[in-house]
């Protein structure tokens, strides 16, 4: 463990995907889903990653988990470069970071009983080799997430969506990870059950000293749970900083619309006047939707500016304010690499 470093550091992450179409001799078209994204997560800290559906949030979460390799960039976990690991070396690190998936119906094997689902990571990582000890540990894990030890022999189909998500969380924390990546974990749940799951995450952070990457489009829940927030638009972080500062005083026009709740939720269509295409190549991607564009927005790419040591924005708007200055090396000592004091 390196207490002098953030638990997780993502440095200039980019991910491209091949697009279908084109003939045999045609040059492959590529989509850059994530572009030059850098952030960090401190120990026992919650970072909220917010943005519309299709902004690249899930792609970032899967790269952090090494379920997707980045096209460019590095992921450092406790100082270890995960992008340089494979095979046994990567498996040895995996028990330290786990994921809670969005769909509690698709993420659980319907043929496995709850006991088998939760104890599977214990078997894979050689934890509690004795079957009786594993059973006791599974019972404690189920109680920890608000279920009962009597649920061990039930099947996933016997639970509600919230119950299934609790099973998924029990599986994720079975190995005692230091970091959880939660990808839209309440998107398919009703408001009451979603609030219960959020409180469970808060308890895991406070009591079990876990860190959390909370990926969501639910601004009220992000505001409640997160210490810091990073706002993602078309694969780029356009604003980041302490949650209350960013959401109460947004400096990027996109963040302002998110905070006001005037953007569509995930899965909904954008307003007809919002613009569906990104801005001209090299310029601000939000330009076609922006109601505060300056003349320079149509002439030059937006600068990345910082305010003090905790806030950043990718925008021309704060340029004339004396408290904002250019960020020169984002991945080396950038404001986003400074862990905030947890606010819960």
180 three-state secondary structure: strand
Print burial letters for 167-203: b (CB count within 10 Å at least 16), e (below 16).
bbbbbbbbbebbbbbbbbbbbbbeeebbeebbebbee
What is the domain count for the chain? 2
Q: Are strands 72-77 and 30-41 parallel, antiparallel or unpaired?
A: unpaired
- The model's confidence at residue 114, banded by pLDDT at 50, 70 and 90, is very high
Q: Rounded mean pLDDT of 176-186? A: 95
Residue 250 lies in a domain: yes
199 and 280, same domain (yes or no): yes
Between 239 and 270, the higher pLDDT residue: 239
Q: Rounded mean pLDDT of 274-300? A: 78
- Residue-wise pLDDT tens digits, 290-311: 988 999 999 999 999 998 778 9
Domain that holds residue 150: 107-175
Q: Rounded mean pLDDT of 185-210? A: 92
Interhelix angle for 161-172 vs 191-207, to 10°? Answer: 20
Place of tokens 């009220």: 220
Of 175, 193, 224, the one marking the end of a domain is 175
Task: Record the pTM.
Answer: 0.87
Give the helix, strand, coil percentages of the chain, each rounded to 5: 35, 20, 45
The Cα–Cα gap between 159 and 141 comes to 17
Residue 157 lies in a domain: yes
CA distances from 50 to 217, 228, 340 (A): 5, 11, 18
Domain CATH for 20: 3.40.50.300
- Residue-wise pLDDT tens digits, 225-264: 999 999 999 999 999 999 999 999 999 999 999 998 765 4
- The model's confidence at residue 280, banded by pLDDT at 50, 70 and 90, is low
- The model's confidence at residue 273, banded by pLDDT at 50, 70 and 90, is very low
Residue 84 lies in a domain: yes
Say what percent of the chain tops pLDDT 90: 68
Print burial letters for 241-255: b (CB count within 10 Å at least 16), e (below 16).
bbbebbbeebbbbbb
Of 175, 198, 233, the one marking the end of a domain is 175
89 and 206, same domain (yes or no): yes
Of 151, 175, 199, the one marking the end of a domain is 175
The Cα–Cα gap between 121 and 100 comes to 13
Report pLDDT for 5: 85
- The model's confidence at residue 327, banded by pLDDT at 50, 70 and 90, is confident
Q: Kindly report the number of other CB atoms within 10 A of residue 50's CB atom.
A: 28
Residue 3 lies in a domain: no
119 and 258, same domain (yes or no): no
156 and 217, same domain (yes or no): no
255 and 327, same domain (yes or no): yes
Q: Rounded mean pLDDT of 190-213? A: 93
189 and 226, same domain (yes or no): yes
Report pLDDT for 332: 36
Q: Rounded mean pLDDT of 11-19? A: 92
pLDDT at 333 over 60: no
Report pLDDT for 29: 79
24 and 85, same domain (yes or no): yes
Report pLDDT for 13: 96
Residue 101 lies in a domain: no
Question: Do the beta carbons of residue 40 and residue 9 sit within 8 Å?
Answer: yes
246 and 290, same domain (yes or no): yes
Report pLDDT for 291: 87
- Residue-wise pLDDT tens digits, 60-93: 999 999 999 999 999 999 999 999 999 999 999 9
Q: Rounded mean pLDDT of 116-129? A: 92
Q: Rounded mean pLDDT of 99-124? A: 93
Place of tokens 């061990």: 152
Report pLDDT for 278: 54
Q: How far is C-alpha 238 from the chain's CA centre?
A: 15
248 and 303, same domain (yes or no): yes
Residue 102 lies in a domain: no
Residue 156 lies in a domain: yes
Place of tokens 């299934």: 164
Residue 269 lies in a domain: no
Report pLDDT for 321: 78
166 and 181, same domain (yes or no): no
162 and 299, same domain (yes or no): no
| Mean model confidence pLDDT for the chain | 86
193 and 70, same domain (yes or no): yes
Report pLDDT for 328: 60
CA dihedral sign of residues 149, 154, 160, 165? positive
Report pLDDT for 335: 37
């Amino acid at each position: 463990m390196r207490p002098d470093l953030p638990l997780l550091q993502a440095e200039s992450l980019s991910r491209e995907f091949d697009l279908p179409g084109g003939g045999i001799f045609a040059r492959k078209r590529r989509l850059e889903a994530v572009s030059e994204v850098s952030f960090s997560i401190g120990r026992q800290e919650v970072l909220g990653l917010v943005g519309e559906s299709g902004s690249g949030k899930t792609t970032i979460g899967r790269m952090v988990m090494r379920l997707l390799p980045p096209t460019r960039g590095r992921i450092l976990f406790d100082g270890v470069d995960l992008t340089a690991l494979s095979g046994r070396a990567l498996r040895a690190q995996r028990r330290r970071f786990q994921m809670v998936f969005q769909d509690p119906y698709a993420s659980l094997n319907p043929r496995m009983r709850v006991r088998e689902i939760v104890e599977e990571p214990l078997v894979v990582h050689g934890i509690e080799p004795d079957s009786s000890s594993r059973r006791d540990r599974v019972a404690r894990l189920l109680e920890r997430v608000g279920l009962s030890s009597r649920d061990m022999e039930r099947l996933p189909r016997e639970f509600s969506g919230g119950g299934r998500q609790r099973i998924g969380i029990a599986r994720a924390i079975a190995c005692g990870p230091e970091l959880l990546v939660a990808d839209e974990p309440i998107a398919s749940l009703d408001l009451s059950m979603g609030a219960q799951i959020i409180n469970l995450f808060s308890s895991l952070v406070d009591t079990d000293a876990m860190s959390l990457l909370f990926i969501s489009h639910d601004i009220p829940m992000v505001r409640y749970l997160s210490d810091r927030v990073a706002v993602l638009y078309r694969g780029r972080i356009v604003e980041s900083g302490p949650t209350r500062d960013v959401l109460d005083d947004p400096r990027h026009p996109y963040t302002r619309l998110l905070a006001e709740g005037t953007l569509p939720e995930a899965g909904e269509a954008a307003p007809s006047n919002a613009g569906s295409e990104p801005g001209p190549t090299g310029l601000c991607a939000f330009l076609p939707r922006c109601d505060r564009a300056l003349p320079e927005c149509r002439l030059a790419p937006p600068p990345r500016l910082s305010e003090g040591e905790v806030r950043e924005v990718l925008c021309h708007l704060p340029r004339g304010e004396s408290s904002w200055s250019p960020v020169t090396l984002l991945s080396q000592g950038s404001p986003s690499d400074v862990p905030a004091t947890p606010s819960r």
